[in-house]
Amino acid sequence: MKLKHLLLAGVASLLGTGAMACSFENTVPLKSLSAGFEAWKVVTDAMAECGNFEASLDQEFKEKQPAAFAANPSLYHIGGVANATLIPLLNEGTIRPLDDLIAKYGAGIKPNQMIKIDGKTYAIAMMVNAQHLMYREDILNDLGIAAPTTYAEMMAAADKIKAAGVVDYPIGGTFKTGWNLAEEFVNNFLGEGGEFFGEGNMPNINNAQGMAALEVMKALTAYMDPEYLVSDSTYVQQQFQQGKIAMANLWASRAGAMNDAAESQVVGKVTMAAAPMGSAAPASSLWWDGIVIAANITDEEAEAAFKVAMEGLKPDVIAANNDAAVWLVDGFTAGPLAAGAAATAAAGARPYPASGPMGIMHTALGNGIAAYLNGDKDAATTLADIEAAYTTAAKEAGLVK
Amino acid sequence: MPFKTFAAFVGPSIFMMLLFIAFPLASVFSQSFHVTQPVYEIVEVETCTPGFLTQTCITEEKSVPKLDENGELIKIRRFVGLQSYANVLELGRAKEALATGSWQAFQNIDFWKALRFTLTFTLITLPLVLGVGLLIALVINNASARVRGPVIFVSLLPFIITPVIGALSINWLFRGDGILTATLEWWLARDIAMFAQAWTIEILMMLYRVWHVAPFAAIVFYAGLQTVNQDSLESAVIDGASRWQRLRYVVIPHLMPLIVFVTMIHLMDSYRVFEEVVGFSSQGHVISLQWLTYDFLIPDQAGNRSISRASASAMLTMIGIVLLLIAPLRRTWREHKGGH
């Protein structure tokens, strides 16, 4: 028992050294569940300063969250969600509208941060994220290549880089089978101006836009590490950091890692630019991450949870961790690392079209595209099979008649 | 033993078996014939999400599930017969593919692709596990008493490692420019990508499984070797039997019941091959039946999951295991009858 106290005291003193101490003493025991990337670590660490707060940072949070919030009382008070993971909570009515709490305690929240559904605010966004072009400025300058703005230019540049032999693979891609691969298709399909669904949630990808998206993906793989089907964002980030690739359409949240001297050999050499332009929009989709409060808790707990959450999103917390994300919160100064996300949004990238059917579509895409890239199926069969897989699953879920 | 005492002894374990085996099985069986879904209504919803500087608001028609007065999802459960099984097996497509004689088209159907790999994996690793296990057991048995302890310990190590962790370590050793791939590249003086095509991944998976499971077979066989009749062995030596002949005609027949036992355990385990697919993140190239069940079951980001198809797929996996076990079980049964 004594040892435990000593340890706790030690941890507390370590935490206490931060300059961003909480402005009040929280007495209501609170728990949060969110993804585990850097931005969430920053925010939950700041919340923990208020005391009586326990954060679960879990990259697989999406599998737990709907069930945990549906429990009564809810197992967590604060949830971290993104566009897509908000959907099940909203559908099952397990998160509460925040308008009253915002009026009371949310003076610092900007209108842009409020996620509104039919006029009610259900989430407070803290950051945006999008895949955008990152490239090695030094390599492109040495070879006299202008910064690419489309995939065609990117591949032309890749040819020159390949010929010069300065890196192992000119292009890196988050093509890991499953969620990542599907996200790449979504980006390209939106870039071509596609709409995923028609009337009655029927799939609508087996068309010219779908073909174009698949073809550009296959063309890109010729410039990639042949093990692209197992490359996730972290792997591509590491390839960048180790100087093995020269260009990639990578997440804005990974930009900070390029200049992390402890890990990266390319500090200051990677430039952030807009995502390659498709025929209608940039080949990217805008995501946000933010905070929700559970419905199945007492009003008192909800109030404490909201206050603690606001402490995590204080301007000085954000200012001290400026490069951890593209923050939407006051205190953020958009530096060169955020330039790519800003340019992508400015060029008209569309928000990720999160919905119940889209969750099924994303899974079907993630499972189905590899067969095309491997050469097992042609593009039309691949798209038809994905539509069939979607329809089967959507019928089972009750979304398609 | 009086019935009461007997019941008191086996009661708890029967209760546990009912609770943890029979009940879940019955539940999965029932779910494979039903579909449970929320009731959706189409409503027009305005959603505002952050852009970079300003908000984007869109109004669109969305399918929203209905909630009852307590705020709980309204769900309906329907009997669908064999529909979920049909959705997993996709027999129509399979027949069509086979009719055109296209193996490729047949292998593009998830279930049959997974079945092909699962069976290959099971049937190739089986003799290797038995062979390597017997070899290790013989080595341990012939090691001098002084080093026997350490040899047993070292040969058991792979079996102690958690399967997923073991698979991940192999993944890291061979992935990209992992240590072993780099060594192979240096040795063969060519570029190697172990995770870029299906067959190399399959070989790695099988090697990993044999490495992981052979110690279990070895320890069982080693125990069996302790009871080999020394007199028979000695008479075999006097009759001039070679080392191989002694193994073939005395040791192996003695170990046969254990070999059947290890075979059954291995068939059951490897038909459920899963850790390798996850650990090697091989689903772009290779999938297994158990992975397919898992993929149906796991919720997507919007919270949808295909429980009915997952249940059907789980039942099919069970049927597959039963079919595989028929041969060794019949053998045991015949021996059992013959022995008395």
pLDDT in tens, A90-104: 988 999 999 999 999
With bands split at pLDDT 50, 70 and 90, how would you rate the model's confidence at A249? very high
Same domain as A273, residue A186: yes
> Does residue B14 fall inside a structural domain?
no
Residue A40's domain is classified under what CATH number?
A: 3.40.190.10
Angle between helices B179-188 and B163-174 (to 10 degrees): 40
CA distance A318 to A295: 27
Predicted pLDDT at B194: 84
Same domain as A140, residue A239: yes
> Does residue B82 fall inside a structural domain?
no
Comparing A5-19, A140-154, A339-353, B129-143, which segment has the lowest mean pLDDT? A5-19
Tell me the average pLDDT across A199-204: 93
Domain of residue A375 covers: 131-283+355-397
Taking only the tens place, the pLDDT of each residue in A265-304 is: 999 999 999 999 999 999 999 999 999 999 999 999 999 9
> Does residue B113 fall inside a structural domain?
yes
Give me the sign of the Cα torsion angle A87, A88, A91, A94.
Answer: negative
pLDDT at B280 over 60: yes
With bands split at pLDDT 50, 70 and 90, how would you rate the model's confidence at A16? very low
pLDDT at A17 over 80: no
Tell me the average pLDDT across A314-318: 92
> Does residue A143 fall inside a structural domain?
yes
Number of structural domains in chain B: 1
CA distance B149 to B264: 28
Report the alpha-carbon angle B55-A80-A183, nearest 5.
70
> Does residue A180 fall inside a structural domain?
yes
Q: Which of residues 69-88 of B touch A (CB under 8 A)?
A: 71, 73, 84, 87
Identify whether the C-beta of residue B217 lies closer than 8 Å to the C-beta of residue B128. no
Which run of H or of E encompasses A90? helix A83-91
> Does residue A343 fall inside a structural domain?
no
With bands split at pLDDT 50, 70 and 90, how would you rate the model's confidence at B48? confident
Q: What is the ipTM of this complex?
A: 0.85
> Does residue A234 fall inside a structural domain?
yes
Same domain as A110, residue A256: no
Same domain as A224, residue A113: no
Q: Between chains, do A367 and B110 touch, taking CB under 8 Å as contact? A: yes
Residue B124's domain is classified under what CATH number?
A: 1.10.3720.10
> Does residue A6 fall inside a structural domain?
no
**Which of A333, A330, A322 minimizes the C-alpha distance to A38?**
A322
Strand partners, A351: A286
Helix ranges restricted to H, B18-144: 23-31, 83-89, 91-99, 103-107, 110-142
Contact list in B for residue A234 (CB cut-off 8 A) is: none
The mean predicted confidence, pLDDT, of chain A is: 91
Q: Considering CB atoms only, which of A176, A328, A354 is closest to B50?
A: A328
Predicted pLDDT at B336: 77
pLDDT at B132 over 90: yes
Residues of chain A with pLDDT > 90, as a percent, come to: 81
Tell me the average pLDDT across B109-118: 94
Contact list in B for residue A363 (CB cut-off 8 A) is: 300
Closest-CA distance of chain A to residue B325, Å: 31
Identify whether the C-beta of residue A188 lies closer than 8 Å to the C-beta of residue A199. no
With bands split at pLDDT 50, 70 and 90, how would you rate the model's confidence at A10? very low
> Does residue A115 fall inside a structural domain?
yes
Predicted pLDDT at B315: 95
Same domain as A139, residue A112: no
> Does residue B97 fall inside a structural domain?
no
CA distance A367 to A383: 12
Predicted pLDDT at A15: 46
Contact list in B for residue A377 (CB cut-off 8 A) is: 108
Taking only the tens place, the pLDDT of each residue in B289-320 is: 999 999 999 988 888 889 999 999 999 999 99
pLDDT at B262 over 60: yes
Same domain as A206, residue A168: yes
Contact list in B for residue A128 (CB cut-off 8 A) is: 50-52
Number of structural domains in chain A: 2
Q: Between chains, do A230 and B195 touch, taking CB under 8 Å as contact? A: yes
Q: Which of residues 225-284 of B touch A (CB under 8 A)?
A: 280-284
A312: CB partners within 8 A, 6+ apart = A43, A44, A46, A47, A291
Closest-CA distance of chain B to residue A180, Å: 12
The three-class DSSP label of residue B107 is: helix
CA distance A369 to A336: 34
With bands split at pLDDT 50, 70 and 90, how would you rate the model's confidence at A13? very low
pLDDT at B23 over 90: yes
Q: Between chains, do B283 and A177 touch, taking CB under 8 Å as contact? A: yes
Q: Which residue of A has its CA nearest to B49?
A: A115
**What are the CB-based long-range contacts (under 8 Å, 24+) for B107-111?**
B107/A376, B108/A371, B108/A376, B108/A377, B108/A381, B108/A385, B110/A367, B110/B287, B110/B292, B111/B289, B111/B292, B111/B313, B111/B316
Predicted pLDDT at A320: 92
Tell me the average pLDDT across B48-61: 80
Q: Which residue of B has its CA nearest to A236?
A: B176
> Does residue A15 fall inside a structural domain?
no
Same domain as A205, residue A106: no
pLDDT at B128 over 50: yes
CA distance A199 to A197: 7
> Does residue B88 fall inside a structural domain?
no
pLDDT at B283 over 60: yes
Contact list in B for residue A354 (CB cut-off 8 A) is: 301-302
Domain of residue B280 covers: 103-338
Same domain as A272, residue A178: yes
CA distance A245 to A257: 15
Same domain as A238, residue A155: yes
Q: Considering CB atoms only, which of B63, B198, B302 is closest to A84?
A: B302
Predicted pLDDT at B182: 86
> Does residue A9 fall inside a structural domain?
no
Closest-CA distance of chain B to residue A17, Å: 33
Q: Which residue of B has its CA nearest to A344?
A: B52
Q: Which structure tokens are listed for B333?
A: 């049964």
Same domain as A273, residue A375: yes
Taking only the tens place, the pLDDT of each residue in A375-388 is: 989 999 999 999 99
Q: Between chains, do A178 and B283 touch, taking CB under 8 Å as contact? A: yes
> Does residue B46 fall inside a structural domain?
no
> Does residue B78 fall inside a structural domain?
no
With bands split at pLDDT 50, 70 and 90, how would you rate the model's confidence at A18? very low
CA distance B300 to B148: 51
